[in-house]
Amino acid sequence: MQDGVARTLTDKIQVTHEGIDTENLGPDLEASLQLPNGKVLKAGEPIITYVARNLEPYRGFHSFMRALPRILKEHPTCQVVIVGGDDVIYGSQPKDVPNWRSKLLAENPVDLERVHFLGKVPYATYKKVLQVSAVHIYLTYPFVLSWSLLEAMATGCLIVGSDTAPVREVIRDGENGLWVDFFDTDAIAERVLSTLSQLERFQGLKRAAYGSAQHYTLDKGILGYMKIIGMNAERV
């Protein structure tokens, strides 16, 4: 009986993406980002970016931070820009320190002249972060896909994403981005270092990511909702 009910409910579920503002995104080869310390980062420089609403394990912040010391050591000129707050939405705070940023920094000391925590930023700043990015890292547990990945793709970022279910929905390894094991910090570091050393080789992946993001425009999202509403209205 329960299986029959589940099948009936599944048949009634319709999924559509609400869309992202692709028209307000896109690459900018002249983009620059002024950091709180006054330093200016520019598109074309070896800049690694990481974005999450909050810095927490569900979005792979622990794996990212554990990969950073090796990346910084082996690429002495790269800069790292991190966007995200210190709250927790999808899990729990660590018990011994106020937030995951403090905990992971204590476990993985890094040069804060090269690793820049911006916290939560205005959208215009967030957009600049994506536009100056040389390699954008997106890691997540098998969970709801973040808008930020699609927005990074729509900005033409080179994506290094975790080989997990939600990422595989939009990133195809070697076609419009690169996969990496969510838990393998050495593999994350190696992937980032290899891409930074040969960025020209991956221009096609960036263009393909931009193209893939066009399947998620606001117009297509609205049309998807209108189709569902219309279908359901006909059933009334």
Residuewise pLDDT in 10s, the chain (236 residues): 466 655 677 777 888 889 999 999 999 999 999 999 999 999 999 999 999 999 999 999 999 999 999 999 999 999 999 999 999 988 889 988 999 999 999 999 999 999 999 999 999 999 999 999 999 999 999 999 999 999 999 999 999 999 999 999 999 999 999 999 999 999 999 999 999 999 999 999 999 999 999 999 999 988 988 888 886 555 54
φ and ψ at 230, to 5 degrees?
Answer: -65, -40
Q: Which CATH code for domain 29-228? A: 3.40.50.2000
Read off the pTM: 0.92
Asked if 72 and 115 count as a contact pair (C-beta separation under 8 A), the reply is yes
Which residues fall within 8 angstroms of residue 23, CB to CB, at 6 or more apart? Answer: 217, 218
Strands 40-42 and 115-119: unpaired
Sorted by where each begins, the domain ranges of the chain are 29-228
pLDDT at 1: 45
